[in-house]
């Protein structure tokens, strides 16, 4: 018997695939049998592809900037038909609201919000045409709650936008056979947080104390939720934001 989470014969695009969560998702999806298209603006995505192949998985890689609509469309044309999208590339930073420059605001929105939309629009077009597919976007605890102590209103609003985009697209595309969901990571052990761990151990302590499970989330724990939502095991789920945060958002 085949598991409903089996991804054999499915081609899935993962953006941010050179980073912690994206790379873990690529590994998880390849282990389920998917052919993974690992995408990032960083050439280090070649390492993700090579490691997947070394482990016996099926993988390709492509570099493009998700904030550049033309580049995303060119990548979609090059990749062709796919069955799943994990729109995950994102950036963070720390800045009090009154110190936000126009460039700070535009930069985070262009990657975290625009970049997700351009990716889903360009790669989703052929899913709609074929009448099947599954999309997962990366939101955040910061999109549903005022996180502490770090300050990054632009990041928070970009992630709230992703969470709402998920619902709106899910409703628009439901009758086309394309499901759209999102994951909401809590504080996750990736490069995005590593610098804080090195330089501000008290902040790291606070994050873990504020998380009911008392620890950081592992990238693999986000990856398994992404795989579930992309797979047939979630065939009845669309428009859902699945928090993978060790309880942070309910505490």
Ligand X SMILES: NC(=O)c1ccc[n+]([C@@H]2O[C@H](COP(=O)([O-])OP(=O)(O)OC[C@H]3O[C@@H](n4cnc5c(N)ncnc54)[C@H](O)[C@@H]3O)[C@@H](O)[C@H]2O)c1
Per CB under 6 A, does 243 bind ligand X?
Answer: no
59 in Cβ contact with 26 (< 8 Å): yes
> For residue 20, what are its two tokens?
């912690």
Within 10 A of 101 (CB to CB), how many other CB atoms are there?
A: 9
Query: Counting Cβ atoms within 10 Å, is residue 18 exposed (0-12), middle (13-18) or buried (19+)?
Result: buried
CA 56 to chain centre: 24
Task: Please report the sign of the dihedral spanned by the C-alpha atoms of residue 251, residue 227, residue 26, residue 109.
Answer: negative
Please say which residue, 176 or 224, places its beta carbon nearer to ligand X. Answer: 224
| Site size for ligand X (CB under 6 A) | 29
Per CB under 6 A, does 154 bind ligand X?
Answer: no
Q: Which of 47, 65, 121, 126 binds ligand X (CB under 6 A)?
A: 65
Per CB under 6 A, does 238 bind ligand X?
Answer: no
Q: Which of 13, 14, 21, 165 binds ligand X (CB under 6 A)?
A: 21
Binding to ligand X by CB under 6 A, coded x per residue (else -) over 70-89, reads ------------------xx
Q: How far is the CB of 198 from ligand X (least distance, A)?
A: 15
Per CB under 6 A, does 48 bind ligand X?
Answer: no
Nearest residue to ligand X, using CB? Answer: 19
Q: Which residues of 180-215 are buried (b: 16+ CB within 10 A; e: fewer)?
A: bbbbbbbbbbbebbeebeeeeeebbeebeebbeeee
50 in Cβ contact with 21 (< 8 Å): no
Per CB under 6 A, does 41 bind ligand X?
Answer: yes
Q: How far is the CB of 79 from ligand X (least distance, A)?
A: 14
Contacts with ligand X, residue ranges (CB under 6 A) = 15-16, 18-22, 40-42, 65-67, 88-92, 111, 115, 138, 140, 185, 187-188, 190-193
Active site residues: 155
């Amino acid at each position: 018997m085949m598991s409903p989470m089996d991804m054999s014969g499915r081609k899935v695009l993962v953006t941010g695939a050179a980073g912690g969560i994206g790379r873990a998702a690529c590994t998880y999806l390849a282990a389920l049998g998917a052919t993974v298209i690992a995408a990032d603006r960083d050439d280090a995505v070649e390492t993700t592809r090579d490691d997947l192949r070394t482990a016996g998985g099926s993988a390709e890689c492509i570099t493009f900037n998700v904030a550049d609509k033309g580049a995303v469309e060119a990548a979609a044309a090059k990749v062709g038909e796919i069955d799943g999208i994990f729109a995950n590339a994102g950036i963070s930073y720390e800045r009090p609201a009154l110190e936000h420059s126009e460039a700070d605001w535009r930069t985070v929105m262009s990657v975290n919000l625009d970049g997700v939309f351009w990716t889903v629009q360009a790669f989703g077009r052929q899913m709609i045409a074929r009448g099947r597919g599954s999309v997962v976007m990366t939101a955040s605890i910061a999109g549903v709650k005022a996180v502490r102590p770090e300050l990054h209103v632009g990041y928070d609003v970009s992630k709230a936008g992703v969470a709402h985009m998920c619902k709106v697209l899910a409703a628009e595309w439901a009758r086309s056979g394309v499901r759209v969901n999102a994951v909401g990571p809590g504080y996750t052990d990736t490069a995005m947080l590593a610098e804080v761990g090195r330089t501000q151990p008290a902040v790291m302590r606070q994050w873990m104390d504020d998380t009911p499970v008392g620890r950081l989330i592992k990238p693999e724990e986000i990856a398994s939720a992404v795989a579930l939502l992309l797979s047939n095991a979630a065939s009845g789920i669309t428009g859902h934001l699945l928090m993978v945060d060790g309880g942070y958002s309910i505490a």
